[in-house]
Structure 1
Amino acid sequence: MISSLNRDRVIAFLMLLPSIVLVAIFVYGFIGWTGWTSLTNSNALQQLSGQPAQFVGLQNYTELFAGMLNNRFRIDIVNTVFFTILFIALCLSLGMGLAMLLDQQVKGESIFRTIFLFPMALSFVVTGVVWKWLFNPSSGLNVLPTFIGLQPFRFEWFISEQRWLEFNWQDLPQILAIILLGVVVLAALIAWSRKRSQLAALLAAGAILLIALISFEVPRQLNALSRPETHGFNLALFAVVVAAGWQMSGYTMAMYLAGLRGIPEELREAARVDGATELGVYRHVVLPMLAPITLSAMIILGHISLKIFDLVYTLGGGDNLWIDMPGINMFFTTFRAQEFARGAAIAMIMLIMVAVVIVPYLATQLRSEVER
C-alpha cells in the first residue's frame, strides 16, 4: 500500500515537473530578471558602448517617485488610482442594477442577457476604436443634441485639462497616513462590535501610532521635490472609465445574476412574511449574501484596471498625458526611449500593485479551502 502510494506520488510529480520548470523559468525567472534589471543602469547607450550594467540600487525607483524629470509616472499613478475606484464602482453598480432587472423574470430575458454580455466578448482594442469615435469632440456624442435642434455638447472628452480633488504630491504620505488611519479605526470599531477585544486593542494601538506620526508631521519631512507638484482627477479620465465600464459591466451582471438565482426563494419569502418590503429584502437578505461575489468582482476588476494597456493605448494613451497609465509609460520607456532599467522599475511597481490586490485574496481563499 505504501509503495503504491509513493509510486503514485512520484508519477504525479513527474507529470507536473515540465509545467513547474516552464513556469519557474518563463514566469518567476523573468520576474526575477526584471527585478534585477530595475536595480541597474541598463539602457541602450550603456549596451551600445559595451559596458556592463552597473548596480545602482533603488535609484530608478527614487527618480520615479521624486525625480524632477519623471512627473509623468506620478501622473500615471494618480490616474490609475482614480480610474480603479471609478471603474470598479461603475461596473459593480451597473452590473448589480442589470442583474436585479433580469432577476424579475422579464420577457425576453435571454435576449437582454445576450445584449448585456456582448461587449465583454469584444477585445479592448475594438472597444477603444468605437469609443474613440464616440468621444470625438466634433462628432459622436457631442452632436446628439443637434438632432433635436439644440446646440452640441462642448465637453472635451480626451483633451480636458480640468481637474478635481487636487493635492500636492509632497503631501501624499500624510494623505495616505490619514486614509490608513481611517481604515484602521473602522476595522477596530468593527472588531469591537464583534467582541474581538484583542484585535480591537491591536488596531487601536496602530491607530494611536499613526496619529502620533501625523501629529509630529513626519510625512512632511519626506519632501523630495524642490517645488510643489499638483495632481488630481482629470476629467479626461471619464472617457476611459465609461468605455471600460461599458465593456466589463456585463461581466459583473453575470456574476450577480448567478448569485441572485442561487439565493433560495424561501429566505425572501420569510423576510416578506416578517414584514420586510422589497427594498428591505434586498438590503437585509440579498445584498449580504452577495458580499462574496462583490469581493471577487472587486478583486478581478481591480486587477484589470491596474494593468490596463490596450484600451488606453487605443483611446490615445501615450500621446495624451491626461489619460496615461503606468502600462503605457512602461511601454514607451522600455521600447521607445530604451531606458530598460527604468522601464523594469515601472513594471515591478505594477507587479507590486497587482500583488497587493491579488495575494491577500488568494491567501484567504486558500485558508478557507484548507479549513474545509
Structure 2
Amino acid sequence: MTLAVLVLTPSIIAVALFIYSFIGWTFYISTVQWNSQVPNYTFVGLRNWIRLFNDTRFHIDLRNLLYYAAGFMTQCIVFGFILASLLDQKIKGEALFRTIFIFPFAVSGIVTGVAWRWLMQPTTGINLLFARIGLDWFQPTWNSHPEYGMWAVTIAASWQFTGYVMALYLAGLRGIPYELREAAAIDGAGSFAIYRYVIIPLLMPVTFTAIVLTGMNSIRVFDLVSAMSGSGPAFATDTLAFFMFQSTFGAYRYSLGAAIGAFMILLSAFLIIPYLRSMRGEVER
C-alpha cells in the first residue's frame, strides 16, 4: 500500500498542478474584469457569463456545435461500425485495409484541414471530379457555404476519426465469442437478426465510448476548422474553441475567453461524468 502511494503521488501532484489548478484558474478569470493586455482582477461575478450568453456569435456557435456533433458523430459511428464489420469477416489483406483505414487518425488536424481545404475549393478538387464524370450541375461551395458549411467540415473530421472508431468496434467484435453467433444461427437467426439482437447490444459499451470520444472532439474542435475556413462567412463554420482563441489572443478579452473555456469544460462534464460512472459500474460488476 505504501509503495503504491509513493508511486502514484508524483502523478497525482502533476495532474492536480497542471490540470485541475488551471481549470480552477480558468473559472476564476471568468469572474474578473480582465479585458485588456493589462491584468485586472477586479471581481465582477457572472458579468462575463451574462455577456457571453447574450452574444449573437455564441448563439451561432452553439448551433454550429449541434450541426457538427450530429454530422461528425453519426458518420464516425456508422461508418466505423460498417468498416469493422467488413474487416471482421476475415478477408484477405485485412492488415493492409486496417492500416489504410486507421492511417488518417495519425495525421494532424492542421494537415487534414489543409488537404480538405484544397479538395473543397469550388473550382477544383472534388467539384472538378464531379465535372469530369458529367455532374456539371452539382458544384457545391462546401465549407464556404453560409448555411451548410459546418456539415462540409464534418466530412473532413470524420475522414480523420472514423478509422479510430473502426478500431474500437473491431476490438469489440473480436471479443464476442463465436459460440454466441453460432447459437443464434442455429436458432434460425439470419445475419441481420444476429447483428440486431446479439452483436449490437453487446457492443453498446463500445458505442458509448465512441459517443464520448466523438462528443468531446465536437466540443473542442479547433485545428481542423482554423486550417479549413476559420470562422467562415457569417460565422458559418465558427466553433467555441475558435471563438475562445480569437477573444483571448486576438481581442485580449481574457475574461471572456476564460468564460468560453469554462463553458466548454461544463459541456464536457456532461459526457465525462456519465462515462466514468458507467465504467465504475463495470469494474464493480
Tell me, yes or no, whether TM beats 0.5: yes
CA distance in 1, matches of 2:280, 2:45: 35
For structure 1, the 5+ residue unaligned runs are: 1-7, 162-233
Give the corresponding residue for 1:278. Answer: 191
Equivalent residue letter for 2:112: T
CA distance in 2, matches of 1:260, 1:32: 40
CA distance in 2, matches of 1:342, 1:61: 8
CA distance in 2, matches of 1:341, 1:85: 30
Give the corresponding residue for 1:202. Answer: none
CA distance in 2, matches of 1:45, 1:286: 56
Give the corresponding residue for 2:35. Answer: 43
CA distance in 2, matches of 1:158, 1:255: 29
Give the corresponding residue for 2:50. Answer: 62
1:1-372 → structure 2 map (5 Å cutoff):
8-9=1-2, 11-44=3-36, 47=39, 52-66=40-54, 70-151=55-136, 153-161=138-146, 234-320=147-233, 321-369=235-283, 371-372=284-285
Is the 8 Å Cα contact of residues 318 and 332 (structure 1) preserved in structure 2? no
CA distance in 1, matches of 2:278, 2:174: 25
For structure 2, the 5+ residue unaligned runs are: none
Equivalent residue letter for 1:97: I
Is the 8 Å Cα contact of residues 220 and 241 (structure 2) preserved in structure 1? yes
Shift of 1:364: 2.2
Give the structure with higher Rg (CA): 1
Query: Equivalent residue of 1:293, what SS?
Result: helix
Is the 8 Å Cα contact of residues 105 and 161 (structure 2) preserved in structure 1? yes
Distance 1:16 1:110, change over 3 A: closer
Equivalent residue letter for 1:77: L
Shift of 1:41: 1.1
Equivalent residue letter for 1:108: G
Query: Equivalent residue of 2:230, what SS?
Result: coil
Number of residue equivalences: 284
CA deviation digits over 1:320-354, x for unaligned, max 9?
A: 41011000000000011000110000000000001
Is the 8 Å Cα contact of residues 143 and 152 (structure 1) preserved in structure 2? no
CA deviation digits over 1:270-289, x for unaligned, max 9?
A: 11111111111111111111
CA distance in 1, matches of 2:102, 2:133: 31
Equivalent residue letter for 1:42: W
Is the 8 Å Cα contact of residues 85 and 170 (structure 2) preserved in structure 1? yes
Query: Equivalent residue of 1:72, what SS?
Result: helix
Query: Equivalent residue of 1:104, what SS?
Result: coil
CA deviation digits over 1:301-338, x for unaligned, max 9?
A: 11111111111111122354101100000000001100
Is the 8 Å Cα contact of residues 143 and 153 (structure 1) preserved in structure 2? no
CA distance in 2, matches of 1:29, 1:148: 57
| Percent of aligned pairs with the same amino acid | 45
CA distance in 2, matches of 1:262, 1:60: 49
CA distance in 2, matches of 1:298, 1:273: 33
Query: Equivalent residue of 2:142, what SS?
Result: coil
Is the 8 Å Cα contact of residues 67 and 151 (structure 2) preserved in structure 1? no
Shift of 1:12: 3.6
Query: Equivalent residue of 1:63, what SS?
Result: helix
CA distance in 2, matches of 1:89, 1:336: 33
Shift of 1:150: 4.7
CA deviation digits over 1:50-94, x for unaligned, max 9?
A: xx432111111111112xxx2111111111122112211110100
CA distance in 2, matches of 1:91, 1:111: 20
Equivalent residue letter for 1:147: R
Q: TM-score, normalization: structure 2? A: 0.94
Equivalent residue letter for 1:144: L
Equivalent residue letter for 1:354: S
CA distance in 2, matches of 1:30, 1:333: 18
Q: TM-score, normalization: structure 1? A: 0.73
Shift of 1:145: 2.7
Query: Equivalent residue of 1:110, what SS?
Result: helix
